[in-house]
Amino acid sequence: MKIIYYSPHPTHDIVSEVGYATHQREVINALKKLGHQVLPVIMGGTEKGNLSSAGIPAPKNSFKAKIKHFIPRFIWTSLKDFQLMQHDRLAAQKLEEAIIAFQPDLIYERSEYLQDRGVAIIKKHKIKYFLEINAPFAEEMNGFEGYSIWHTIAHKKEQNKNNQADQIFVVSSALKTFVENTYHISSSKIIVQPNCINLENVKTDELKIREIKSMYQLEVKKVIGFVGSIFPHHGVDILIDAFTIVAKVHPDALLLIVGDGSIINDLTARVNSNGMANKVCFAGKHDHSAVFNFIAVMDMCVMAKSNWYGSPIKIFEYGAMHKPVIAPNTAPVRDVMENKVNGLVVEMNEVKMAEAIQTLLDNPALGSTLSNKFYSDITQQYTWEIAAQNIIYAFSKN
């Protein structure tokens, strides 16, 4: 089968080590492994050094950057949104050129904020159309960027794509409910497909693992680990507070935090003020390929916080390394994890998180049972190849 994978966003490339790039790259590669011809039409770029610059905010020394502070936020946000909609014309043109040249059987689109002109092109050429939704875009952008005069238009564009799609894939049951209720889409049209992992990328280096253990003196420690970006909404502060409780009754425990972000200095100060500097290690940011070496030295892994709609890839990386996982009690987590069956699913506060950590410290056999079950679940249900198979199966039923 011939498939165009269409991603209209001007800056979402396919090669970066970020979530959207990984998702796009892995779905495309998995479809190819199944024997299908896949043409990526990725407006953000498909090669390093050759990424699209359309829609990227102006450099800091530009005139726009200088005047930004003197313009009300909603005007600035609205101007950026207008630029996105103008870009959508170019994206649709590129899509039509690809359709004419490639003659696909299916267009698989990664839905993006304020981008919907591709729909008319797809329907014009009478091609089967699948839509992948990873977030409630209009609401998400309103939360991130603030009010835009195009907010209502953004919802209308989402409505258009949802109405026209032959099949919709969402990353969580919560997002499915949102699409059903907000855009009045039939449940039968929506498939929940959580994020996944490519097990071939889960590789470790024994020499590097020994170096990490030596550097942070982990040989006789029970290591509680976190890997990820460190921003206010990621809950690392909650994890540190939970660990402070745990450390009082488990002096051999150590918290290893791998990553960087805007509040790292605040968290370092927090640790120092609590007298925990010798028990909390900040390892900094590392290339994604090196992250599994850090996970290897952890006795358990924690995802401190997550939003209500997104499917967190991080828990699959933890699980693929046979580590017991503590994760927040959100619908996307519950889609793939069951409390005390393949992990510990807890409320996002320091007391409950501390209790979960102590449970695993006190009962290593439980941790082993949970990690083995989650690893089995991942290999059987949550690989990108399985996700690709689900796309092809849906095509066969349409």
**How much is the pLDDT for 53?**
43
Please indicate, yes or no, whether residues 117 and 210 belong to a single structural domain of this protein.
Answer: no
Same domain? 211 vs 155: no
Strands (E), the chain: 2-7, 37-42, 106-110, 128-133, 167-170, 190-192, 222-227, 253-258, 280-284, 300-302, 325-328, 344-346
What is the four-CA torsion angle of 109, 110, 111, 116, rounded to 10 degrees? -40
Tokens of 51: 């990424």
Please report, for the domain that includes residue 225, its CATH number.
3.40.50.2000
Say if residue 218 is in the same domain as residue 178. Answer: no
Domain count, the chain: 2
Same domain for 390 and 291? no
Q: Are residues 150 and 228 in the same domain?
A: no
pLDDT digits (tens, 9 = 90+) for 5-59: 999 999 999 999 888 999 999 999 999 999 999 999 999 998 876 665 444 444 3
Say whether both 175 and 216 belong to one domain: no
Tell me if 323 sits within 8 A of 371, measured CB to CB.
Answer: yes
Same domain, 192 and 230: no
C-alpha distances out from residue 36 to 94, 122, 132, Å: 21, 20, 18
pLDDT for the residue numbered 59: 39
- Do 292 and 214 reside in the same domain of the chain? yes
**Domain extent at residue 81:** 2-196+384-397
- Asked if 38 and 61 count as a contact pair (C-beta separation under 8 A), the reply is no
- Give pLDDT < 50 ranges for the chain: 53-61
Same domain, 67 and 211: no
Q: Would the pTM count as exceeding 0.75? A: yes
Encoding tokens for residue 245?
A: 């409780």
- 255 and 289 assigned to the same domain: yes
- In this structure, the answer to whether residues 170 and 216 fall within a common structural domain is no
- Say whether both 313 and 376 belong to one domain: yes
